[in-house]
Structure formats: structure tokens, C-alpha cells
Amino acid sequence: MRLLWTISIVPYLFWPANADFTFMQHRALSQHEAPPPAEFTVPFTAKVPRRKSKLATGRWEMRSFREATVSLDGANFETEYLTNITVGGQNFSVIVDTGSSDTWIIQKGFMCSDANGNPVSESTCAFGSQGFDREESKTFQGPFPNALCNLTYGSGFFLNGPIGFDNIAIGGLSVSHQEICLPTQARYEGDGIFSGILGLAFPAGINVFNTTVPANASDGNRLPFDPFFFSAVKEKKVKRPFFSVALNRGTFGQESNDQFDPNLGFLSFGGIAPVPVVNTSVTVPIQGYQGDSIFNSTPSDSPDAEFVFYTINVDSYTFPRSSGLLTASNNTILDTGTPVNIVPTDVAAAYTAAFNPPATLIPTTNGLQIYVVDCNATAPDFLVTIGNTTFSIDPQDQGPGTLAVDPDSVLVLGAVFLRNVVATFNPMAREVTLTQRTKY
């Protein structure tokens, strides 16, 4: 889920949400060892010098999993985790996003517009390349008739354009004739590094519609198709139908010199990401949704519930001053594309008050409220219990930064949490395995 920020200070902690929920108690499916090494693994990026401990970990990972490892990069103060993708023989850097389903690459010659809809230069949208060139691909087919990809984001940013088919490869994993969104219009503010998004959530979340007019896009004419990983499973390109993610953290000091940091974790297809872990592990079910549309629905255990996101139960959050608070939630999304944890408002208020010195809640001109935490503040312990198993968040992931209050937000465990676990997603079995990482 790509949350687009309108403030310049990096958010590391919480985005509190006034979200209502009805808690449904699930038991953990199992508590067991992590899945086997991956068939295909790509490293993440983001561009600052790595600490010695990070370098040592990287040597261990590559030595043990050399044939199947692709790393992730980080950018924009670790609010983005990136990997390289090849579409029709053309290379791009994309955000890895378990909170959305669409894979898109901006198309060459796209029109960039400002907030009023007026055309501006392409550089204003700040993508990391000129975009996908249909004429340069020998395998592209399309565009698909009477179909529109229509993507909108919370800060008023949008992209839309046609749908096509092409071969997509990530590391050693390649899918032929994969449907992909190729926006030709954009209101966007990128970082000059990425050119699109790799969506890894369920087909029901695809934003493709049976229309050519953006205003006519609706749930009634939505055209779901298989995202990249679902296609890979159907084409039997992976022996084991799951993927896992391990996000590493950079440092604020490093990012202040260069916002791009290579080798910030791993995306693994067909197995577990190759980082050291401890024995704390649990597998829990993914929740479906039921309602008149995918965005007007509630979590449900019904057999006919529709799966959209990697939504799970959180048993509790534990921290100083958490006693007496209802901290459980059954609609929390695991999302690599969101840099912060979005938790119930009462939880965020109590937790940020436990900082030394406490955070300050400040209104902003755009109607949001933000928690401002002193860069030298001492962060209290923060534990997350899922499936009766408790995971810790390293204090390094809990400051400095700002926290925004958005009454319309869903609840999310984002990069702040995911940097502390290996998250293994099995959309076919509709379950997620979380394994605590060794401190690094």
C-alpha cells in the first residue's frame, strides 16, 4: 500500500488511525521453523555506506544463497524498498509493495500534470527513468482494448493508462505474457529513483477497469487478473507457492548524505529470505473481506470472503502505559509499501507519551495531525503479539520522526515492524509466517 507523504521529515514510528474494528479471535495455525531457502531471491536497495555488521551479514547471505538471491534497495529515508525488474528487456527500479496488487511502470512519453491538472515537465513527476518504451520491446502485446489502469493515492496523486502484456523478470524468476499497467498520465512526486511498483497482494485488489474513462472506473467494472507472483505459481515457475521479505534498516546519518542505499534486505520467491533468525515464529491465517465493494467491507471468516490484502489479527501491543488499553485488532495489514505502523489512536497516544521526552501532537495545514518526536528521545520498548507469539521492535526503528493522525486510515504493520522479522507470505494457502530476526 503506497502511502504518499506531504511532509518532508521522515516518519519512522506510527501513523495513528481512528479505526473501528470488531475483534475476531483466531488461533495461530502453527508455531514452527521457518520455510526452506528460496528458489529465487532478490536484494533490496537504498544508497548509504553500510555498517560493518551489515556488511558481515551480507557476506553470510550471499555465500549461503548465491544462486537464488536478489537484494532490495532502500530510498527516501527507508520509506521505499526497491528492487530491479526487467520488462520486455528493459530495466527499471520499482517499489516492492505487499499492500497493493498492481504492477506498473510509467510509460515513455507520459504526461505529467500539477495539482490543478495543468501539464508540466516530466521531471516534475520525478520518476527514475524515461519509462517503458513499447516500441523497444520485442515481446510486448497490447494495449488491451477497453481497459484502463486507474491508480489513486491519498495525497491527490494519480496515474492512469492502458494495460499491456509482456515478459517480466525479477532475478532468476521470469513470467511470460504478464499483464502490466503502463500509465500515460500522472500527477506524482517521485524521488528520481523508482519508475513503478511491484504489487504482490491478491488479484481482487487490481485497479484495472472495463472503461477508458477514469471517472467511470468502479467496482462494478473492475477487471481482476493475476499479479506477477500468482502468474509465477500458475506457470509452475516456483516449486513452493510462497515468497518472503526481509527488510534491513539504514541509519538517519547515512541517509542524510545519500538517499539511495543498496543491499537493504531481500525478496525471496519460493522460500525464506536468507537472513539470520531466532526460534520465535508463528503462522497465522490471512483474513478475507466481505461487503458491497473491496473498500467498503469488513474482515470476515466467511467461506465466501474475498482476499485483498495480507490482513491478520494482532492480539496486542505491549509497551509502558499499555495496561488497560484495548490494543487488539483484526484488520491489520502487513505492508512493505508503508514506512510506519498505523495503529489505533489510543495506542499511538499512549505509546508516544511514553517517550522521554514525550512526543508532541501538532495540527497541520492539510487537516492531519502529526506526532513530533525529538531526535534524541529515548524510545520505550514496543512488543507486538500475533498468534500468541510476541515479537519485539528494535528501538533503532522507533525514531526520530513524525507521526500523522488520519481518521480514515486502515491499520498497518509497515516497515517499522517488518525490519524486525522475516515475513513469509503464502497467498495460495492464505496464511503468513512471521519469524523474529536476530538483532543486527
Catalogue the active-site residues. 97, 335
CA distances 330 to 20, 22, 167, 316, 407, Å, are: 10, 7, 37, 10, 17
Q: What is the DSSP letter of 411?
A: E
The angle formed by the CA atoms of residues 251, 256 and 258, to the nearest 5 degrees, is 95
Q: Which uninterrupted H or E stretch holds 283?
A: strand 277-285
Q: Where are the alpha helices (DSSP H) in 215-344?
A: 228-234, 252-255
What is the phi-psi region of residue 396: left when phi exceeds 0, alpha when psi lies from -120 to 50, beta otherwise? Answer: alpha
Q: Rounded to an integer, what distance in angstroms lies between the CA atom of residue 434 and that of residue 57?
A: 20
Number of Cβ within a 10 Å radius of residue 396:
15
Instruction: Determine contact, residues 22/171, Cβ cutoff 8 Å.
Output: no
CA distances 1 to 25, 197, 263, Å, are: 25, 10, 22
> Which residues, 6+ apart, have CB-to-CB distance to 17 below 8 Å?
342, 343, 344, 345, 405, 406, 407, 408, 409, 410, 411
Q: What's the sign of the alpha-carbon dihedral 55, 59, 61, 67?
A: positive
Q: Rounded to an integer, what distance in angstroms lies between the CA atom of residue 37 and that of residue 33?
A: 12
Work out the burial of residue 148: count CB atoms within 10 Å of its CB; fewer than 13 is exposed, 13-18 middle, 19 or more buried.
Answer: buried
Q: Where are the alpha helices (DSSP H) in 186-308?
A: 228-234, 252-255
Q: Which residues of 332-361 are buried (b: 16+ CB within 10 A; e: fewer)?
A: bbbbbbbbbbbbbbebbbbbbebbeeebeb
Q: Which residues of 240-267 are buried (b: 16+ CB within 10 A; e: fewer)?
A: bbbbbbbbbbbebebbeeebbbbbbbbb
For residue 400, whether the previous peptide bond is cis, meaning omega lies within 30 degrees of 0, is yes
For residue 325, how far is the Cα from the chain centroid? 28
